[in-house]
Amino acid sequence: MMLRRMASLFSLHSRPQALFRLASAANRPVCRRNFHLSAVVQQTKDDDLFSSATPSGTPVSEASKSTTMSKAKSQDAATRREQQFYELVEYVTDRTGRKRAVKAGQVRQTAWLRLFQLANSSEQLQMVAELFPRWRDSGKEFRPIHAEAFIRRSEELKCPTLALKVFGDHSKYGLGLSSLFAARHMLHSVYAKHPLSDSMTVAALFGVYKLPPVSSDLAACSMLYLACLKDNSANAHVVGKALYEELQKQVQDKPPVRAPQDSVMRARYAEKPNIWLLDALKTIEKVHKKTGKEWRWIRYWTAEREWRPRNTFTPGQPATTAEHT
């Protein structure tokens, strides 16, 4: 029923302006109530704060007025953002599909990236996803950057299962899991807090999209193995055993990786695989300690300053940091 309503929303006979008016009307009373209550609470706090902090010649009411104006500007910015979102949805809807409602103008590749960023809820991101088939029907294709940006936004809005649905139905949506980076990120978005079945679905998509096997990538293998450790089923035990052996083998054959400590560097998207890998290994080490499984090989590998290939790990052996690939 919901999908039919979404489909009717984007038909050529409907107007997305109506959606914006409905969404704005539905949200306005809630926003007014929330704003009124927060302003009252904040004003009480500000009165206490500015009673001693403001100069004797500055009335307390002016400080309170300044706070209220700041909140009003913030509310205006949120309203403008929502309006921009629905306007761009309308623009894309009118200029994509087998029969374009508006012939003038064209939708650029960057319009999708803008829509991902403007979407401020899982419902709005779902709305964007329902536009994907129109792009394919226009004879256009998505690029790897779109897959990566969509997965990132799905994780930020706490709806990674939406990405699972989209990439699991390429014939409908036309958005492919076209890079190993995107596949790693999708696994990262589900392995810690979602059922093992979601992680296994992502692992299966590695093969569907002709990416390297999940077990061959150190970061992906670590995250999937950790997901198996958190599940007590017989299937998880079987899969986890195979992944454990592969993980040990890779750690023996590959140099250690390093994640940056600087917060600015850690925020860079290119650094994320190393961060995800080391975070997963750290948790695996803790789980192994708790359950009595061997864990020292993880500690030796992550703590090494220098490296050389070998079959066993012993503490204190020195060798070179290498970037994870």
Distance in angstroms (rounded) separating the CA atoms of residues 173 and 185:
19
pLDDT score for 292? 93
pLDDT of residue 113 exceeding 90, the answer is yes
| Residue range 86-108, pLDDT digits in tens | 999 999 999 999 988 998 889 99
Neighbours of 138 (CB within 10 A): 15
**DSSP code of 3?**
H
Judge whether 205 and 183 are in contact, CB under 8 Å: yes
pLDDT of residue 74 exceeding 90, the answer is no
In the numeric block, which tokens belong to residue 168? Answer: 């699991």
pTM score above 0.95:
no
Judge whether 125 and 163 are in contact, CB under 8 Å: no
pLDDT of residue 78 exceeding 80, the answer is yes
Judge whether 169 and 161 are in contact, CB under 8 Å: no
